[in-house]
Amino acid sequence: MSVFSCAAFDGHEQVVFGHDPETGLKAIVALHSTVLGPGVGGCRMWAYPDEAAAVTDVLRLARGMTYKNAMAGLDFGGAKAVILGDARRDKTPAMMRAFGRFVESLAGRYITAEDVGIGTDDMAHVRRETGHVLGLAETSGDPSPFTALGVFLGIRAALAHARGSDELTGVTVAVQGLGHVGADLARRLHEAGARLVVADIHRDATDRVAAATGARVVDPAVIHAEPVDVYAPCALGAVLNDRTIPEIKAGIVAGAANNQLAEPRHARMLADRGVLYAPDYVINAGGVINIAVEHGPAGYDVARATALVQGIGDTMSRIFAEAARTGRTTAEVADAMAEARIRAAAAKKKAADAA
């Protein structure tokens, strides 16, 4: 397939394919923008149905990281990596070291970290081959709890905007996807008094969360249509589409998944139905904020990371208020804010180059 003709291609600076026959590594790194700094984004391992699906995903994810890092106020550009394969079956330490060599070949333009199917143990293997890696166990560790914290705060901000109170007691939340982030979000919501409906493709994940929280377990294919107050997509993207949106009964959609909108127009479709949508790359930025602290000159400090993630709720509140004031969708407001920062940085860089 042609990368340039792919619908998800959005002026990406570089798309690189990596293959290691000995370990079976098949990986793609997409660098969307390095205007704000080196491209930073996690590495996802997933059993894609074909190469075209992997290319589409990595292009969409990399673009999302550009906007996420811009909105989080970080001096990072946007990039992402995907490894084609089943993380539970195919992943090996040797494969992760091969991926590390692939990252090293990009000479610092891309800095990797954990994502779906990849954990801190995997990053330790990657680190043996490259220094361009964040989220190490001995530094900032697993970023998932910080992602979950940001989503939790974003849900409270959405409730405050929609209902006038961020109280979670008695609120029913449907959490779709119970990986590291989804499970931790479910824990936080349960401890705050929310009632939970959960779904995951893995039975062991739903069993653990249901036992800990008393959640009701439903089929992942129908959880979006549950009669709940908040729908929190925390698995893969494109779950907000022509088929699912008419079936959504929740008044708020706020979750950790990347690229929840199948197409940009679906933000308007949600708004027209009276559903308050929390732009995913804003609400789920806690993880990258955490690893940004690790990357900073002062080194990692958990208190500083937590304080920065706390700002996600305030950012969401500003987006909701601006969308209500202007009649734009929340996605349009967030995009405009991110693009303004990127344009300003590009202009400053151009002026410096011309001096």
**Sequence-ordered list of residues with C-beta below 8 angstroms from that of 105, at least 6 positions apart, any chain:** 18
Name every residue whose Cβ is closer than 8 Å to that of residue 229 and which is 6 or more positions away in sequence. 159, 171, 172, 173, 250, 251, 252
pLDDT for residue 282? 98
CATH fold match for the domains 14-66+76-127 and 144-284+313-338: yes
Predicted local distance difference test score (pLDDT) of residue 295: 87
Identify which of 131-140, 221-230, 297-306 has the greatest average pLDDT. 221-230
Contact 252, 194 (CB under 8 A): no
pLDDT at 1 over 80: no
Question: Quick one: what percent of the chain has pLDDT higher than 70?
Answer: 100
CATH number of 144-284+313-338: 3.40.50.720
Give yes or no for a contact between 245 and 270, defined as CB atoms under 8 angstroms apart.
yes
Asked whether 111 and 219 are in contact (CB, 8 A), the reply is no
Element (H, E) at 15: strand 14-20
- Vertex 180, ends 337 and 18: CA angle to 5°? 75
* pLDDT band for position 244 (cuts 50, 70, 90): very high
Residue 80 appears among annotated catalytic residues:
yes
Q: What is the pLDDT of residue 170?
A: 95
Helix (H) or strand (E) run with residue 220 in it: none
pTM to 2 decimal places: 0.91
Closest CA to 29 of 88, 85, 110: 110
* pLDDT at residue 89, rounded to an integer: 96
Q: In whole angstroms, give the CA distance from residue 316 to residue 283.
A: 7
Say yes or no to pLDDT of 141 above 90. no
Among 26, 68, 80, 91, the active-site one is: 80
Fold for the domain defined by 14-66+76-127: Rossmann fold (3.40.50)
Which range has the worst mean pLDDT, 20-24, 142-146, 227-231? 142-146
Domain range summary for the chain, segments of one domain joined by +: 14-66+76-127, 144-284+313-338
Q: What is the pLDDT of residue 2?
A: 83
